[in-house]
Amino acid sequence: MKTRLCLLWASFLLGAPVNKQRHRVLLISFDGFRWDYDRDVDTPNLDKMAEDGVKALYVTPPYITITSPTHFTLLSGRYVENHGVIHNMWFNTTSLEKKSYYQSQFVNEWWDNGTLPIWITAQRQGLKTGSLHFPGTASSYQGETAMVREVEPALYNYKNELEWKNNTDKVMGWFRDQDLDFVSLYFGEPDGTGHRYGPDSPQRREMVKQVDRTVGYIRESAQRHGLDDSLNIIITADHGMTTVYRNGLVEEIILSKIPGFSFSDLSFHLVDFGPSGMLLPKPGKLEKVYNALKGSHPHLHVYKKEELPEHLHFSKNDRILPIILWADLGYVINGYFPVQFNKGEHGFDNQEMDMKPFFRAVGPAFHKNLEVGPFETVNIYPLMCHILGIQPEVNDGHLNATKHMLVTSSRAEGEFTSD
């Protein structure tokens, strides 16, 4: 007892905090949850989360607005050109090989190319981290992985609500039983439903109700596991969704039908994957390919990568191919002939409102009943690092963009200042 009293007295004299409050972070992504999906559906649990915490009007993802690149931005705070996970698909321009989204999760060098995700940074500074199904979980970074991790099996059913509850309880158990400080948790909806049926469909609205029920379950599970006093929950998404125009309503973009363009002039291409594409012309063919495509369709944008608009931050990486294509909202890029049948799609310019995701945050670090203006998702990384009390890696975000969300009081009391 005397020893404990002496330590407490010494801490007081030295000005060190006594019983400093611990802050943990759970980062959750509901893939493809557009910023306005709560406007045509009753979402009592999302509404309660906003009342108890922070809601952003919307957030802006990086370009390219597809799953793996945007999720790695959440984990690293870097634009896609800087972290290098430039597509859902790993590809090799020499062998012409391409791997699917799921297969690409296991290609270490695709993910581990110089940028560290928050799992590794936190662990190197003494914290414990985990990840369940979050893109990038399957790979290692400089030989390290999240301490606790689970990768979904191939052909996983992302819609199963019972699995959502099981995964939620599993993650809360990690926090409680394995004493984790940070966990990332991924749900594959409402993206799949938005693709199949379209963002304005009744099926999408039903899936948003399922998301809302799960948000309520997540908060209830956190309370049941005794985490209310320490756990900060951030819920967001990777991108939005928009309706695809086709079935004779518009003139579709079909590259093979464009006069002067030929696939024989290319060494490699990534098209037929939504509204974006990349081309590698054969030596000496770049100008021919570029000039044939530029201005060929009123809703097709064609750029040499070094001439891309600055706001896209999608040119300064060797993995990005020399010619970039993207379509206006609602259009997709077809190669030889139309092979895409989704009613909803993403991958468009990140300035388009339909590409914006939602954002909610609740927990002891956050103000209550606060609605804030939009910000870029690169800023979520420095926010999480600040809450966890770790030094971030070099990143493209700024704490100034989000610090007004945080409770402001003395650091000696284990809270946060606005510095």
C-alpha 25/C-alpha 396 separation (Å) is 20
CA 375 to chain CA centroid, nearest Å: 14
19: left (phi over 0), alpha (psi -120 to 50) or beta: left
Q: How far apart are CA 416 and CA 376, in angstroms?
A: 22
**Sign of the C-alpha dihedral computed for residues 191, 192, 198 and 204 taken in this order:** negative
User: Other CB atoms closer than 10 Å to residue 94's CB: what's the count?
Assistant: 7
**Helix, strand, or coil here: 210?**
helix
In degrees, to the nearest 5, what angle opens at C-alpha 97 toward C-alphas 279 and 278? 15
Q: Is 242 a catalytic residue?
A: no
Residue type for 298, please?
A: P
Could you tell me if 154 and 102 are in contact, meaning their C-beta atoms sit under 8 angstroms apart? yes
* Residue of 60, 65, 67, 236 marked catalytic: 67
Q: Is the peptide bond before 190 cis (omega within 30 degrees of 0)?
A: yes
The b/e string for 177-195 (b: 16+ C-beta within 10 A; e otherwise) is eeebbbbbbbbbbbbbbbb
Count other Cβ atoms within 10 Å, centred on residue 279.
Answer: 25
The closest of 80, 87, 170 to 133, measured between CA atoms, is: 170
Helices (H), 202-281: 202-224
Residues 358 and 212: beta-carbon distance below 8 Å: no
Residues in the chain: 419
Residue type, 39: R
Structure tokens at 94: 């020499």
Strands 300-304 and 323-327: antiparallel
Catalytic center residues: 67
